[in-house]
Amino acid sequence: MYIIKTISKSKKNSSEKYYTYRLMESVRIGKKVKKVTLLNLGSDFSVEQEDWRDLSTRIDDILKQRDRLFEINSELEIIAQECAKKIVTSQAIQKENSSHVEKDIYKEIDITSIKNSDPKSIGVEAVVYETIKELYLDNKLIELGYTNIQVNSAIGSLVAKIVKPSSDIKAYKWLSNTSGINELIGCDFKQMSSSNIYRVADKLYTDKDELEEHLYHKQKAIFEYDETITLYDLTNTYFEGGAKGINRAKRGRSKEKRSDTPLVTLAVMLDSSGFVRKSEIFDGNVGEATTFKEMLDKLAVKKKDNLFTGKSSLVVMDAGIASQENIDYLVENGYEYIVVSRKRDKSFDETKATPVKLNGQDEVIVRAQKVINENGEVELFVHSKPREDKEEAMQKRVQALFVESLQYLKDGLTLKRRAKKYEKILERVGRLKEKYSTIAQYYNITITKEEDGENANTIEWSEKVSLDKKSSINGVYCLRSNNTTMDEKMLWKTYTTLTDLEAVFKSLKSELGLRPIFHQTQARVDAHLFLTLLAYSIVHTIRYKLKKKGIHHSWDTIRGILASTNRVTTSMKCKDGTTLYIRQSTELNSEQKEIFDALGIKYQIGDISRSYIE
């Protein structure tokens, strides 16, 4: 085995010449010796000529499983390992493509020579890739004019985002060194530039509208449902760093308690099954209510294909978005709605309420009272026992903190280095009333001043009403709707589908790496958010299919179950002097098979390749 250097001519300009390198082997065929090219090393081969012999010897040792006689440097070892893998793969492909049929499938081997090498994760990747194909996303990218490299880069980026969410450069390294997805799609990410991962995410965002529409059409076709319910909400995420080059990075109210950093807002419309209809990126300080008209108008554009029919659509949204202006806009455009009412009056008559949910012991835990107001609008007063218990616990905690703070001020009147001035005590109590306003309104607080001094003499407080009366509206909320045909149970159940959006945002942030954002240009931020949302669409398709088969795992749990499935190369020395290499995936366990069965995926992941090195 040896390396040679050859001169080649440029196809574009015959006068231009360049050097290429090949790994060769001399093989005796009868009385003649023939030179055979084992591997084309390309024109970028940069190993110094003085190291060629060591490199070729080491490659031969690896292929024939001979122990090293002499150590070589780590860089040459890495190159030798990569070259050996390529030779094994190429010989297996040549054998598969030939008409040769292996007659002797039994071999005598040296069992002490058996080795497993080159493990690559493949279980989660296979599930994701099969779903991408089922959604015809790869075909859609080709239809949009993506090159083969761009299609592979897009699939790789999505698989990395779903399986191992991280930065783009870490995703590229994971695709190159750890994942076996390249063996499924026929792409060697090591031969690609890492910039392909950046560029393809940007390109995906430019095709955002078409891709969202394509995925939603395919998801409707696969699951054969006809949804008319639209759920709308938005979330925001924060940046790491100043984000000075990002137009939409604004300071606002963070849902992750990170108002100290710039934010960007993602608005999403789903159907009641959790599939994405439309998304949009807004400034970080945008108000929830102000985004609604823009999103609804963009959704209504699709009426031409009868996918979104305005007059039969029911829009469900939370109180933050349900301004009277937005509700009027829905009515004017022929939409029905269910929203959380902003009214403070929560009059609930338990004697007129209807049970809408029971617990496991047939105990009623949610009741609803339907009322038609003077405008002909339905108001549904809902009392939830779990919500009541939660609010009561929170109320007791706030009350304890409020009283504890008052006691602290009172005790300080007799202690050194504590506030005693009357004016200062008034100020401190005022701040407490502001901080604990929900509880302070139910207390009388009296502060007396010394007759001949500037200090406060004492602080006294008493409850205006008992805790039971303060808790009389705990667990009660009011829904509004212009749909008068639904009964109490259907109205309430339809509204609770809004929790799907909360689950989406949780999945985006915790399972798919939406937060925080490290990018420093607007284009990269947009691409990052949209790529994450595309990943969610694929994950939700997988989980929706599993739920229909009774498997309700989170995506983190599914990833954990499939994580132990790998591609591995097993090598062994045979009695006839050859070395056999077998590349295949590990067997699935029972839990993994259950997931594959539910998704309709074959147990064998990837091809089984065999090659013999003489």
Residue 519 clears pLDDT 80, i.e. is over it: no
* Distance of alpha carbon 379 from alpha carbon 340, whole angstroms: 10
pLDDT the model gives residue 501: 73
Residue 308: the pLDDT is: 44
> For 320-326, which contacts have Cβ atoms below 8 Å and span 24 or more sequence positions?
320/288, 320/289, 321/232, 321/233, 321/234, 321/288, 321/289, 321/291, 321/292, 322/289, 322/480, 323/289, 325/289, 326/289, 326/292, 326/293
pLDDT in tens, 180-233: 999 999 888 988 888 998 899 999 999 999 999 999 999 988 988 766 678 887
Whether the CB-CB separation of 295 and 278 falls below 8 Å is answered with yes
Q: Which of 47-61, 117-131, 173-187 has the lowest mean pLDDT?
A: 47-61
Condensed to tens digits (0 to 9), the pLDDT of residues 564-613 reads: 999 999 999 998 888 888 999 999 999 999 999 999 999 999 988 888 88
Residues in the chain: 614
- The more confidently predicted of residues 46 and 207 is 207
User: What's the pLDDT tens digit per position in 241-271?
Assistant: 777 778 888 888 777 777 788 888 888 888 8
User: Which of 527, 519, 529 has its CA nearest to residue 245?
Assistant: 519
**Across 68-72, 241-245, 441-445, which has the greatest mean pLDDT?**
441-445
- Identity (one letter) of the amino acid at 225? Y
- Band of pLDDT at residue 94, cut at 50, 70 and 90: low
Range of weakest confidence among 124-138, 309-323, 380-394: 309-323
The crossing angle, in degrees rounded to 10, of helices 123-134 and 555-562 is 120
Element (H, E) at 113: strand 109-121
CA distance 529 to 515: 9
- Over the stretch 462-471, which tens digit does the pLDDT of each residue have? 988 665 555 5
Q: Look at residue 590 in the predicted model and tell me its pLDDT.
A: 94
> 340: which strand partners?
479
Q: Are 388 and 475 in contact (CB under 8 A)?
A: yes
Q: Please name each of the domains of the chain with its CATH number.
A: 2-101 (no CATH), 123-206 (no CATH), 208-348+498-548 (3.30.420.10), 349-495 (no CATH)
Q: What is the pLDDT of residue 141?
A: 96
CA distances from 47 to 59, 75, 76, 86, 355 (A): 14, 9, 8, 17, 78
Residue 330's pLDDT is what? 87
Whether the CB-CB separation of 447 and 421 falls below 8 Å is answered with no
Per DSSP, helices labelled H in 224-323 are 288-300
Summarised one tens digit per residue, pLDDT across range 6-41 is 887 776 666 677 888 888 888 777 778 788 888 888
Provide the pLDDT for residue 558: 94
What is the per-residue pLDDT for 610? 85
**Which of the residue ranges 73-87, 95-109, 540-554 would you say has the lowest mean pLDDT?**
95-109
pTM over 0.95: no
For the segment 427-431, the average pLDDT, to the nearest whole number, is: 94
Decide if pLDDT at 47 tops 90: no
Query: Which residue do the tokens 């607007």 mark?
Result: 522
Three-state DSSP at 565 gives coil
Strand partners, 568: 584
pLDDT in tens, 365-418: 899 999 998 888 999 999 988 888 888 888 889 999 999 999 999 999 999 889
Q: What is the identity of the amino acid at 360?
A: G
Averaged pLDDT, 261-286: 85
354 forms beta bridges with 368
**Binning pLDDT at 50, 70 and 90, where does residue 104 land?**
low
